[in-house]
A = this chain, B = another copy of it.
Amino acid sequence: MNNQLDKTMPLREAIRRYVKNGAHISIGGFTLNRNPMAAVYEIIRQKITDLHLYAHSNGTGLDELIGAGCIAKLEIAYGGNGKAAPTCIRFARAIQNNEILFEDYSNYMMSLRFMAGAMGVPFLPTLSGMGSDMLTTWGFSESMRLSDPKIVNKKLAVVDNPFGNWGGAKKVVAVPAINPDVTIIHVQQADIMGTCRIKGLTFADVEQAKASRHVIVTCENLVEKAVLRENPDMNQIPFIHVSAVCHVPFGGYPTAVYGHYDYDAQYLKQFAAAARDENAFTAYQDRFIFGVDNHEQFLKQVGKDRLEAVAADPRTGYSVNMKRD
């Protein structure tokens, strides 16, 4: 978001500065991979509330944020977390108990919405979803939409192809752009200006970052500028999009960060078990989130054994033969 030479700051400060109560946010990653978990835990620790979350498929981070009551409104394609929770547990409960406002999209629709925001166009077209209830069933009412300038006036719109049947389609579904106040992503490498290198799949992180007014980057390795500049082809996000850089090793744990560590199936299972019971869930939060001051202490609470168990094999980028069930 600026060209300052040094955007590094403590994670606590970055969250305090850019993630305000009521902010519209998005987080990077996908289900159990490269979620910005240190930032998610810090948001919970700072008791930030009333957030509007745009998610395609952010399992682990999503369920922690919902479980902690930080989310008031949710636009989402998928709330699942792999084997541990095919449907995210706090997510399902919050909906079943009418605790949050929510609206359903497909994964491509959400990805395109971020892409539209990144491109600076009001919408993008797709041939997905005609005839589905996604088109006709709105989660946010018309009056709510019209009263909030940060929410688009319609969920989706079917429009005619202005070029007849060109491309074999007489009509398309237009999906409206998203421009979050802030997006938080966790990457393998960043420099102090905020240029980012993601290894492995990028999911929708690049689109989410470029669509946002502010971007907070947490990184495994804070590297010299030269490391990134030597191969500009491998950098997906140039510094001009970034507001804050926070060096947080294991900042994606308990989700996987390719080339660094795997997801911790045991942690996710323990989370899922706790999420099913209110007392257990409070105990879980007290121990791992509120009972620690920061991510370093969280990692100590988790224990060296777990971190060693998920350490990535340098050849494959994941933990080979790790116990996963």
Determine how close the nearest CB of chain B comes to the CB of A243; give it in whole angstroms.
21
Which B residues are in CB contact (< 8 Å) with A127?
A: 120-121
Verify if A200 is at the interface (C-beta below 8 Å from B): yes
A172 and B233 contacting across the interface, CB-CB below 8 Å: no
By size class, the interface of chain A is 20 to 34
B124 and A166 contacting across the interface, CB-CB below 8 Å: no
Determine how close the nearest CB of chain B comes to the CB of A185; give it in whole angstroms.
16
Which B residues are in CB contact (< 8 Å) with A163?
A: 122-123, 152-154, 157, 174, 176
Residues 173-193 of A contacting B (Cβ, < 8 Å):
174, 176-177
Verify if A303 is at the interface (C-beta below 8 Å from B): no
Nearest chain B residue, comparing its CB with the CB of A199: B233
Determine how close the nearest CB of chain B comes to the CB of A154; give it in whole angstroms.
6
Verify if A162 is at the interface (C-beta below 8 Å from B): yes
Number of copies of this chain that the complex holds:
2
Determine how close the nearest CB of chain B comes to the CB of A136; give it in whole angstroms.
15
* With contact pairs A153-B166, A166-B176 given, residues A124 and B123 touching in the complex (Cβ less than 8 Å): no
A116→B166 CA distance, assembly (Å): 11
Nearest chain B residue, comparing its CB with the CB of A146: B164
A300→B123 CA distance, assembly (Å): 52
Verify if A234 is at the interface (C-beta below 8 Å from B): yes
Name A124's contact: one of B125, B233, B234 (CB within 8 Å): B125
Name A167's contact: one of B120, B167, B233 (CB within 8 Å): B120
Residues 144-170 of A contacting B (Cβ, < 8 Å):
152-154, 157, 159, 161-164, 166-169
Verify if A294 is at the interface (C-beta below 8 Å from B): no
Residues 94-123 of A contacting B (Cβ, < 8 Å):
116, 120-123
Verify if A221 is at the interface (C-beta below 8 Å from B): no
Verify if A49 is at the interface (C-beta below 8 Å from B): no
Verify if A87 is at the interface (C-beta below 8 Å from B): no
B123 and A167 contacting across the interface, CB-CB below 8 Å: yes
Determine how close the nearest CB of chain B comes to the CB of A228; give it in whole angstroms.
14
A164→B153 CA distance, assembly (Å): 7
Nearest chain B residue, comparing its CB with the CB of A126: B121
New contact pairs (4) apart from A121-B169, A122-B125, A123-B161, CB-CB < 8 Å: A121-B127, A122-B172, A154-B162, A167-B176
Rank and list the top 8 A-B pairs by shortest CB-CB distance, nearest first.
A122-B167, A157-B162, A122-B161, A122-B166, A163-B176, A121-B125, A152-B166, A122-B169
